[in-house]
């Protein structure tokens, strides 16, 4: 990808996020757009977003692959890793060589390496002094993510954060938590829909997710609506 092509695609990504925010939008669709574009723009192997639930714990909402989901779930179960550190500090956290992770991150390290991830960049989803989650970019290569890419990823994350809590003040914590909880509840429905399609087609959950996503895109439907119809047996793919 040439620099000019990449710059144009980055501009188009900002435009797509902005267009999504103008109309009535679905939070999960917004975040799925973000991780998909980040994977393409920044030459990362996988991307995922963790959001804080009502209890302040991080939960996975969207990801580009089931592999990234497995790594992040391992982080959460261990309560240690770069994504947790990013969320707690509100600052980007880079681990250029996962094999050199500190001992307290050993569970994350083992899981990531076993899945072929060798470096990670975690970017906070933040507005002013409040951090509501993290954007996590996993790479198959050792080494730092280019600084320009980190800056661009942070800008995209900032736009998405504004989308999640737009028109609301940070001090209105109940409204923010409810919005985030709806997104987390939607993730449960998507997981159930993946199970339905995987069973019907005798395919892996990762492949089932791609079937659902392609159908939603080709029919210009929110991912949430398609998943709900699948779970409630109003739709068969």
Read off the pTM: 0.73
Q: Is residue 71 part of a domain?
A: yes
Q: What is the pLDDT of residues 1-51, one digit of tens each?
A: 666 777 787 778 777 777 766 666 677 888 888 899 899 888 899 999 998
Q: Answer yes or no: is 42 within a domain.
A: yes
13 assigned to some structural domain: yes
pLDDT digits (tens, 9 = 90+) for 104-159: 998 899 888 988 999 999 999 998 888 989 999 999 999 999 999 999 999 989 88
Q: What is the CATH number of the domain that holds 67?
A: 3.30.450.40
In a domain, residue 196? The reply is no
Number of domains in the chain: 1
**Residue 226 is assigned to a structural domain of this protein:** no
| Residue 174: predicted pLDDT | 62
SS (H, E, C) 24-42: CCCHHHHHHHHHHHHHHHC
What is the C-alpha separation between 1 and 7, in angstroms, rounded? 10
Q: Tens digit of pLDDT for each residue in 79-115? A: 789 999 999 999 999 999 999 999 999 889 988 898 8
Residue 155 within any structural domain of the chain: yes
Burial of 159 (0-12, 13-18, 19+ CB in 10 A): middle
Residue 197 and residue 237 in contact, taking contact as beta carbons nearer than 8 Å: yes
Structural domain including 92 reads 3-168
214 CB-near residues (< 8 Å, 6+ apart)? none
227 in any annotated domain: no
164-190: per-residue pLDDT in tens?
A: 766 445 445 566 677 777 778 888 899
Q: Is residue 97 part of a domain?
A: yes
């Amino acid at each position: 990808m040439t620099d000019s092509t990449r710059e144009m695609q980055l501009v188009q990504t900002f435009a797509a996020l902005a267009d999504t925010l103008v109309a009535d939008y679905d939070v999960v669709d917004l975040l799925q757009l973000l991780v998909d574009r980040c994977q393409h723009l920044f030459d990362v192997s996988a991307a995922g977003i963790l959001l804080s639930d009502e209890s302040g714990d991080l939960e996975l909402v969207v990801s580009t692959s089931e592999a990234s989901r497995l790594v992040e779930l391992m982080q959460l179960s261990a309560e240690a890793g770069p994504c947790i550190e990013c969320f707690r500090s509100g600052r980007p956290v880079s681990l250029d060589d996962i094999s050199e992770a500190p001992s307290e991150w050993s569970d994350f390290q083992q899981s990531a390496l076993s899945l072929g991830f060798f470096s990670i960049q975690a970017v906070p989803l933040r507005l002013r002094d409040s951090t509501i989650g993290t954007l996590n970019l996993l790479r198959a290569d050792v080494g730092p993510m280019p600084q320009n890419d980190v800056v661009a990823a942070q800008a995209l994350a900032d736009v998405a954060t504004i989308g999640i809590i737009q028109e609301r003040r940070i001090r209105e914590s109940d409204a923010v938590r409810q919005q985030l909880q709806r997104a987390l509840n939607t993730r449960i429905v998507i997981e159930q829909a993946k199970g339905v399609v995987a069973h019907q087609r005798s395919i892996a959950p990762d492949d089932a997710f791609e079937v659902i996503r392609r159908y939603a895109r080709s029919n210009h439907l929110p991912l949430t609506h398609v998943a709900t119809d699948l779970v409630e047996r109003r739709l068969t793919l």
